[in-house]
């Protein structure tokens, strides 16, 4: 059974993520412990809220270094919603503040559409990326979103899926052991649970 550390920095639906992972067969622990994070088989960084507040909380809890170490150790890592955005270099929401900088690129605010983008919307999978999270997940599957910003990676090869909200935005990324989704798989019913199940198999 995979031991998964769910990083608790005070932002996100942690219990919902934990319950969903346990449902698909994981042993999931909500933790602020660097030791737990480093010893886990896989790590999940969830999150809901503001980019700047999240980065400052991760700094105050001394969690940035273990997150980077886990990612560099090739352990499977999944960022969810704000957890995806934190993997990038910077955000329009927090100008001058550096993100985790795992992926080069920015986090940009939606323009010309109602924000936040809340509710169900469809995935358009990028077959060239061949993201393992989407094995057995139907093209056009509806996922649950709640966000005002979206990631804009410099390296377009990491794009695993897009979603249309006024225009196509990046809704999932994948490179090696690192995965990130803008939607909430834990709230996305059967297809969302399938994504979490696939994460366990990585």
pLDDT value for 13: 84
Full residue range of the structural domain in which residue 84 is found: 3-94+105-201
- pLDDT for 12 equals 83
- Which residue from 78, 51, 84 is spatially nearest to 163, judged by alpha carbons? 84
Would residue 100 count as lying in a domain? no
Q: Average pLDDT for consecutive 10-residue bins of the chain (202 residues)?
A: 93 94 97 97 96 97 97 97 98 94 98 97 95 96 98 98 98 98 97 98 92
5-52 confidence digits (pLDDT tens): 999 999 988 999 999 999 999 999 999 999 999 999 999 999 999 999
- Using a 10 angstrom Cβ sphere, with 0-12 exposed, 13-18 middle and 19 or more buried, the burial of residue 49 is middle
Looking at the structure of the chain, the number of domains it has is 1
CB atoms inside a 10 Å sphere around CB 80: 24
Q: Which residues are catalytic?
A: 81, 184, 186
Q: Is residue 99 part of a domain?
A: no
Q: Residue 36 belongs to a domain with what CATH number? A: 3.40.50.880
**CA distances (Å), origin 172, targets 35, 57, 58, 69, 136:** 28, 24, 22, 22, 16
**Model pLDDT, residue 1:** 77
Domain contains 26: yes
Examine residue 30 and state whether it is found in any structural domain, yes or no.
yes
Residue 134 placed within a domain? yes
Contacts of 7 (CB under 8 A, 6+ apart): 31, 32, 37, 43, 44, 45, 46, 63, 67, 83
DSSP state of 71: H
> What was the pLDDT predicted at 2?
83
């Amino acid at each position: 059974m995979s031991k998964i550390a769910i990083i608790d920095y005070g932002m996100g639906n942690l219990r919902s993520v934990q319950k969903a992972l346990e449902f698909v067969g994981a042993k999931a622990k909500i933790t602020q412990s660097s030791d737990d994070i480093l010893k886990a088989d896989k790590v999940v960084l969830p999150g809901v809220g503001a980019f700047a507040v999240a980065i400052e909380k991760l700094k105050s809890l001394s969690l940035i270094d273990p997150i980077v170490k886990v990612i560099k150790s090739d352990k499977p890592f999944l960022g969810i919603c704000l957890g995806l955005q934190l993997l990038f270099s910077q955000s329009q929401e927090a100008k001058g503040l550096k993100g985790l900088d795992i992926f080069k690129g920015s986090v940009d605010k939606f323009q010309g559409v109602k924000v936040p983008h809340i509710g169900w919307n469809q995935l358009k999978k990028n077959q060239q990326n061949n993201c393992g999270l989407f094995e057995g997940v139907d093209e056009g599957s509806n996922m649950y979103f709640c966000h005002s910003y979206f990631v804009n990676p410099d390296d377009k090869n990491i794009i695993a899926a897009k979603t249309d909200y006024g225009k196509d935005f990046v809704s999932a990324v994948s490179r090696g052991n690192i995965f990130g989704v803008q939607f909430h798989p834990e709230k996305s019913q059967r297809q969302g649970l399938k994504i979490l199940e696939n994460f366990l198999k990585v």
